[in-house]
Amino acid sequence: MDKPGTTGRVIPALDRAREIKPCPLGAGESCCRVCAMGPCRVTESGKGARVGVCGATPDTIAARNLCRMIAAGTAAHSDHAREVVQTFCAVARGTAPGFELCDREKLSRLAAQLGCGKAEDPAVLAREVGKLFLGEFGRQEGELALAALAPPRRLERWRRLGLVPRGIDREVVESLHRTHMGVDQEALHLLHQGTRTALADGWGGSVIATAVRDVLFGTPRPVRSRVDLGVLKPDCVNIVVHGHEPLLPEVLVRLAADGEMTARARAVGAAGVNIAGMCCTANEILMRHDVPVASHFLQQELAIITGAVELMLVDVQCVMQGLAAVAACYHTRLVTTSEKARIKGARHVEFSPATALDTARELLYAAIDNFPNRRRVDIPPQAVELVTGFGQESIRHALGGRFRGSYRMLNENIINGWIRGVAGVVGCTNPRAASGASHGVLVRELVANDVLVLVTGCAALACARDGLLVPEAADSAGPGLREVCEALGIPPVLHCGSCVDNSRILMMAAEMVRAGGLGEDLSDLPVAGCAPEWMSEKALAVGQYFIGSGISVGLGVYFPGADSKEFAAQVFEGLTQDYGAAWFFEPDPQALARKILAHIEEKRRALGIEGRRERVLYDMKMRRRLDV
159 half-sphere exposure, CB direction, 13 A CA radius? 12
- Greater pLDDT, 527 or 400: 527
Arithmetic mean of pLDDT, 351-378: 97
537-549 and 187-200 helices cross at what angle (nearest 10)?
Answer: 100
Please give the single-letter amino acid code of residue 618.
Answer: Y
542 half-sphere exposure, CB direction, 13 A CA radius? 33
pLDDT grade, residue 91 (50/70/90)?
A: very high
List beta partners, residue 40: 32
The answer on whether 485 is annotated among ligand-binding residues is no
Give the Å distances, CA to CA, from 130 to 109, 165, 284, 379: 14, 19, 21, 43
Alpha-carbon gap, residue 147 to 156, rounded angstroms: 11
Whole-structure pTM value: 0.93
The answer on whether 428 is annotated among ligand-binding residues is yes
The answer on whether 599 is annotated among ligand-binding residues is no
The answer on whether 89 is annotated among ligand-binding residues is no
Give the Å distances, CA to CA, from 539 to 95, 99, 508, 516, 525: 35, 30, 19, 30, 22
- Gyration radius (Cα) of the chain, Å: 25
The answer on whether 54 is annotated among ligand-binding residues is yes
The answer on whether 496 is annotated among ligand-binding residues is no
The answer on whether 244 is annotated among ligand-binding residues is yes
Instruction: Domains for the chain: give ranges and CATH numbers.
Output: 57-217 (1.20.1270.30), 223-373 (3.40.50.2030), 389-607 (3.40.50.2030)
pLDDT digits (tens, 9 = 90+) for 56-90: 998 999 999 999 999 999 999 999 999 999 999 99
Arithmetic mean of pLDDT, 481-503: 95
The answer on whether 279 is annotated among ligand-binding residues is no
Alpha-carbon gap, residue 128 to 135, rounded angstroms: 11
The answer on whether 236 is annotated among ligand-binding residues is no
pLDDT digits (tens, 9 = 90+) for 545-579: 999 999 999 999 989 888 888 899 999 999 999 99
The answer on whether 458 is annotated among ligand-binding residues is yes
pLDDT at 240 over 50: yes
pLDDT digits (tens, 9 = 90+) for 1-46: 554 434 346 667 777 877 877 766 566 557 888 999 988 888 776 5
The answer on whether 280 is annotated among ligand-binding residues is yes
28 half-sphere exposure, CB direction, 13 A CA radius? 17
The answer on whether 463 is annotated among ligand-binding residues is no
Spell out the residues 6+ positions from residue 436 whose beta carbon is closer than 8 angstroms to its own.
296, 298, 429, 458, 461, 462, 465, 533
Would you state the pLDDT for residue 11?
Answer: 67
User: How many CB atoms are located within 10 Å of the residue 13 CB?
Assistant: 19
